[in-house]
A = this chain, B = another copy of it.
Amino acid sequence: MQSAPHAIRLEPFKVACANCNLRELCLPVGMSVTQMDQLDAIVANRRTVPRGEALYRAGDGFASLFAVRTGFFKTCVSSEDGRDQVTGFQMGGELLGLDGIGTDRHTCDAVALEDANVCVIPYHQLEGLARELSDLQRQFHRIMSREIVRDHGVMLLLGSMRAEERLAAFLLNLTQRLRARGFSGSSLILRMTREEIGSYLGLKLETVSRAFSRFQDDGMLEVRQRHIEILDAPALQKLVNGSSC
């Protein structure tokens, strides 16, 4: 999310899982080098996705999962009548496509918010390998389970938090994930618009903008367009939790 993606558009050579700096956040967690080599053997392909384009769309046939190597994605579902809901933002090391396993079709769109590069993981082969490597199986199950738990957290947010609490929770979640990837966590550049944030949080873009302004007035943030400086993380944290009354 932080780096300038325009230096190299296409990886000319393959980076093995064992050499990938995201391996501690991705599928290979807990695997030995020889196991990673086996995983590498099925993750033969890369794919670049230019900013604004879809990695897949709802209705597309499902064949592979994708691991984000560089770049930033959003996933969104939409109902018949055109209502739209962003269901998540994905960064390096996170898996995309889990929604497709259940019905062999994708049920949401995955759109790159900046030029991106993903590892293509043919699902059928992954299943086969997971039957041989219990470490891989375990990690895969953990990732799915954590996605479910994350979704439950979003439900809590959407069902019972107020606008500013939602935005605070969102920012803290983002910074935490960035910190896990070696970024500062107090200074970040949003890859998504106010409208996309609003869709994720169940708010209108004006409300998101107002909340940003209010946080700035209260000295918790410095906001310059999409560049956010977190000045008082504990205050944000307090908003998310015990702010009532």
Contact A98 B145, beta carbon cutoff 8 Å: yes
Whether a CB of chain B sits under 8 angstroms from the CB of A108 is yes
Residue among A153, A159, A199 with the highest chain B CB neighbour number at 10 A: A159
Residue in B85, B127, B161, B241 whose CB lies within 8 Å of A156? B85
The CA-CA distance from A79 to B160 in the complex, in Å, is 10
Q: Which residues of chain B come closer than 8 Å to A152, judged between CB atoms? A: 77, 85, 87, 99, 107-108, 151
Whether a CB of chain B sits under 8 angstroms from the CB of A32 is no
Contact A202 B131, beta carbon cutoff 8 Å: no
Contact B101 A158, beta carbon cutoff 8 Å: no
Could you list which residues of chain A lie within 8 angstroms of chain B, going by C-beta atoms?
77-81, 83-85, 87, 98-103, 107-108, 127-128, 130-132, 134, 137-138, 141-149, 151-156, 158-161, 199-202, 240-244
Q: Which residues of chain B come closer than 8 Å to A131, judged between CB atoms? A: 130-132, 134, 137
The CA-CA distance from A133 to B151 in the complex, in Å, is 29
Residue in B147, B155, B201 whose CB lies within 8 Å of A148? B147
Residue in B83, B100, B146 whose CB lies within 8 Å of A102? B146
Contact B107 A149, beta carbon cutoff 8 Å: yes
